[in-house]
Amino acid sequence: MFTKGTKRKFSDPGEEPASSGDPGPAAPSAAARTLSSSYSLQRQSLLDMSLIKLQLCHMLVEPNLCRSVLIANTVRQIQEEMTQDGTWHIMTQALAAAQCPADRLVATEVLCRQTDAAAQAGQSPKPFSVVGLQEGYHSEEVVMEGDVETEVTMSSLSPLSPQLSSASYLTGPFEVGPCWEEEDEEEDHSESSEPSLMSEHSRHPALEELFSDVDPSYYDLDTVLTGTPKMGPYDLLESLSSHGPTALSSSSSCRSDLNELDHIMEIIVGS
Amino acid sequence: IEQGLCFAADIISTVEFNYSGELLATGDKGGRVVIFQHEQESKNRPHLRGEYNVYSTFQSHEPEFDYLKSLEIEEKINKIRWLPQQNAAHFLLSTNDKTIKLWKISERDKRAEGYNLKDEDGRLRDPFRITSLRVPVLMPMDLMVEASPRRIFANAHTYHINSISVNSDHETYLSADDLRINLWHLEITDRSFNIVDIKPANMEELTEVITAAECHPHQCNVFVYSSSKGTIRLCDMRAAALCDRHSKFFEEPEDPSSRSFFSEIISSISDVKFSHSGRYMMTRDYLSVKVWDLNMENRPVETYQVHEYLRSKLCSLYENDCIFDKFECCWNGSDSAIMTGSYNNFFRMFDRNTRRDITLEASRESSKPRATLKPRKVSTGGKRKKDEISVDSLDFNKKILHTAWHPKENVIAVAATNNLYIFQDKIN
């Protein structure tokens, strides 16, 4: 997939492993495996880099929507390819199994959500929509996928670690809140999903250093990555007269929950 | 090409000549607008012929804070567009992420003296003390250029405004953000018509945004907008109130052999400009500039590689975010040449007729008066010739995103971060 001659020398698509079914040159299987593993590594690295970029969308100024969309699309492409390879499922399983709070790697839990519709349609996994690293804000019902509790490993950003080999945030079908959380989403959504999210988080003993360093507003369900709290339907007239009423109550309750959580985590982690 | 002038400022975010080319406006990251004026030729000082000097400076936008979203609204000027001149005053539209303002720039070179009700200091006179009346007289004074905001078009964009474009009817203009395009009447500030809306019902399904939009130079019902997926849609406002259905759809089929994870990102169009003739339009994506014939939708008629040597560096450019840089492009007055910027303070010009291209550098070293700019070359591997620069030595922090070409003469303005360079072609 990566073009030839890129700095990291990605392998040619034609040399991809068996899934392509391409007769191809009769390369020694070991070499082919090496090439493909190198490709996988680089693809994984690109995935990690992309997720970090989306995560760092949080700024005082609204992040660039175009950039976020392009990065999200890139992540989606990678996910699709990895799904076709079968490596996506393997990776998520591996992450679920490996629960090791190493120095920089702390496991956190994110719901692996699958909409009813998707489950019925039998498609799996649901294509990656957008990454909301802190929160899985979503508008549909939360359904646990079987009995598999997927986990996500993230590397801490402080100190900034370039090596993110196992820092894969995405875990199978999910609906994570978009980093361009829209402003005219109804208030019901947050209220229904909030409790479940909170319970998921509180179940998990270890929390990233990242979260403890980060301003609690990151956890705001409404802000996710764009920092845009939920508003009533955006209406030109409404905004001209005055800013419409906004759903700040739900976000503030979420905020206090997270502050509490933060506090607990700090105690546990002992920072 | 000879060197002209260099002005230092805050980081320049937009550059635009007016219709006659007499005025050149720049907007910067600090919300300021600086307007330069083309000096008239002077017989006494021929070497100053055609210099640009500062004409007016004013603060267009201030930083704002959106308390509801807990976000800052940057005062950075994203775009400036001039209105055609209709009287002695000049008008321009300037916009930041959220608010568009119409500014009137007028000259004052006379002052009234001899008022009846106030004396020369401005103090009011006691009307009962006035025993005679006189007619105030206009006296010359030092030229003063005043800028005043005449209209403020606010609260119509949820997302960041990336383009504004004045319609050929000179009464309306469009403004585009990431997901919507609005049509305004210049006289009316409290409402606008939404003519394009690509926001999905479910924001999680968002995969494409609007990157630029422009009105057709002659047909006031036609406009185009480009997307992050490398497509351009031409719309006719007569067809429907909401132009969600395009009249024409321009997209070049992807070359499957060069497909990579970065293909979509580098296909994202950062700028779209109609030719002065209105027959063509030009688009800028990350690595190339394409000229499209409005009558042919399936592929561009011309493609120019700006810095193809970057194709092998896309992963690094993704890592340092340079891959998201939005370069602009521009036509010359006769549509025979096009110009766009690159890195290392390089900018490129392409002659459409001769197919020749040139790379020049905007730098202080070459900014001695009347110095001739030397063509630059990037070595693409193998042996590096003398005077060539290797790809790895390029400074990616020095990017030329904004350039402008005088509508009639061979004068160009190039913004290199916080320096403005004006180059002129002296064919003597």
- Of A69, A130, A228, which is closest to B209 when you measure between CB atoms? A69
Inter-CA distances, A66 with A14, B203, B207, B329, B341, Å: 31, 13, 9, 19, 20
> Which residues does residue B14 pair with via DSSP β-bridges, in sequence order?
B27
pLDDT score recorded for residue B32: 96
Please give the Cα distance from B242 to B239 (Å, whole number): 9
pLDDT score recorded for residue B140: 92
pLDDT score recorded for residue B264: 96
Please give the Cα distance from B334 to B405 (Å, whole number): 11
Write the DSSP assignment of B58-82 as a string of letters.
Answer: EE----EEETTTTEEE-----EEEE
User: Could you give the angle at which helices A187-203 and A248-269 cross, rounded to 10 degrees?
Assistant: 10
> Which residues does residue B411 pair with via DSSP β-bridges, in sequence order?
B424
Nearest to A176 by CA among A216, A118, A126: A126
Say whether pLDDT at A183 is over 70.
no
> Which residues does residue B56 pair with via DSSP β-bridges, in sequence order?
B35
pLDDT score recorded for residue B120: 78
Spatial contact of A83 and B352, defined as CB atoms under 8 Å apart: no
Write the DSSP assignment of A80-112 as a string of letters.
Answer: HHHHHHTHHHHHHHHHHH-----SSEEEEE---
Scanning every residue of chain A, which has its alpha carbon at the shortest distance from the alpha carbon of B192? A236
B254-289 pLDDT tens trace = 988 889 999 999 999 999 999 999 999 999 999 999
Say whether pLDDT at A60 is over 70.
no
Residue A13 lies in a domain: no
- Of B70, B228, B314, which is closest to A70 when you measure between CB atoms? B228
Residue of higher predicted confidence among A137 and B184:
B184
CA torsion A253-A256-A261-A263 (nearest 10°) is 180
pLDDT score recorded for residue B50: 67
Q: Calculate the average pLDDT of chain B.
A: 91
User: Could you give the angle at which helices A87-97 and A65-85 cross, rounded to 10 degrees?
Assistant: 100
Residue A20 lies in a domain: no
Chain A interface disruption, residue of B29, B65, B67, B69, most A CBs within 10 A: B69
- Distance from the A268 Cα atom to the nearest Cα atom in chain B, whole angstroms: 31
Structure tokens belonging to residue A192? 């229904």
Q: Which 3 state secondary structure label does DSSP give B3?
A: strand
pLDDT score recorded for residue B3: 55
Chain B interface disruption, residue of A47, A70, A114, A222, most B CBs within 10 A: A70
Please give the Cα distance from B409 to A218 (Å, whole number): 52
Please give the Cα distance from B12 to A38 (Å, whole number): 42
- The answer to whether B207 contacts A231, with C-beta atoms less than 8 Å apart, is no
Chain B residues within 8 A of A227 when measuring between CB atoms: 69-71
- The answer to whether B68 contacts A73, with C-beta atoms less than 8 Å apart, is no
Chain B residues within 8 A of A39 when measuring between CB atoms: none
pLDDT score recorded for residue A237: 34
Quote the number of domains for chain A.
1
Please give the Cα distance from B309 to B287 (Å, whole number): 9
Please give the Cα distance from B183 to B196 (Å, whole number): 9
Scanning every residue of chain B, which has its alpha carbon at the shortest distance from the alpha carbon of A175? B204
Say whether pLDDT at A190 is over 90.
no
Say whether pLDDT at A236 is over 80.
no
pLDDT score recorded for residue B43: 60
User: A246: Cβ–Cβ under 8 A, 6 or more apart, which residues?
Assistant: A229, A230, A231, A232, B68
- Read off φ and ψ for residue A45, nearest 5 degrees: -65, -40
What is the predicted ipTM? 0.91
pLDDT score recorded for residue A257: 56
Residue A130 lies in a domain: no
Chain B interface disruption, residue of A66, A164, A217, most B CBs within 10 A: A66
Secondary structure tally for chain B: helices H, strands E: 2, 32
Please give the Cα distance from B210 to A141 (Å, whole number): 31
Residues of chain B with pLDDT under 70: 1-9, 41-50, 366-371, 382, 426-428
- The answer to whether B204 contacts A236, with C-beta atoms less than 8 Å apart, is no
Residue A7 lies in a domain: no
pLDDT score recorded for residue B121: 81
Residue A170 CB neighbour total at 10 angstroms: 25
Q: Which of A46-60, A109-123, A144-158, B252-266 has the highest mean pLDDT?
A: B252-266
Residue B276 CB neighbour total at 10 angstroms: 15
Q: Calculate the average pLDDT of chain A.
A: 51
**Residue in this structure with the two tokens 């905007």, named with its chain if needed:** B362
Secondary structure tally for chain A: helices H, strands E: 8, 2
Say whether pLDDT at A251 is over 50.
no
- The answer to whether B311 contacts A3, with C-beta atoms less than 8 Å apart, is yes
User: Can you give the pTM of this predicted structure?
Assistant: 0.72
Q: In what order do the strands lie in the sheet with B337-341?
A: B329-331, B337-341, B346-351, B357-361
Q: Is the dihedral of CA B163, B167, B170, B175 positive or negative?
A: negative
Residue A78 CB neighbour total at 10 angstroms: 22
Spatial contact of A35 and A21, defined as CB atoms under 8 Å apart: no
**Residue in this structure with the two tokens 């509801």, named with its chain if needed:** B68
- Of A49, A227, A234, which is closest to B70 when you measure between CB atoms? A227
What is the domain range of residue A39?
Answer: 32-114
Chain pair A-B, CB pairs under 8 angstroms: 122
Please report which helix (H) or strand (E) contains residue A202, including its range.
helix A187-203
Structure tokens belonging to residue B239? 């067809």
- The answer to whether A77 contacts B319, with C-beta atoms less than 8 Å apart, is no
**Residue in this structure with the two tokens 């800052």, named with its chain if needed:** B72
Structure tokens belonging to residue A60? 């005082």
pLDDT score recorded for residue A93: 79
Chain A residues within 8 A of B156 when measuring between CB atoms: 236
A139-170 pLDDT tens trace = 333 333 333 333 333 333 333 333 333 333 43
Residue A182 lies in a domain: no
- Of B155, B228, B316, which is closest to A236 when you measure between CB atoms? B155
Average pLDDT over residues A81-108: 66
Q: Which of A23-27, A112-116, B304-308, B379-383 has the highest mean pLDDT?
A: B304-308
Scanning every residue of chain A, which has its alpha carbon at the shortest distance from the alpha carbon of B267? A70
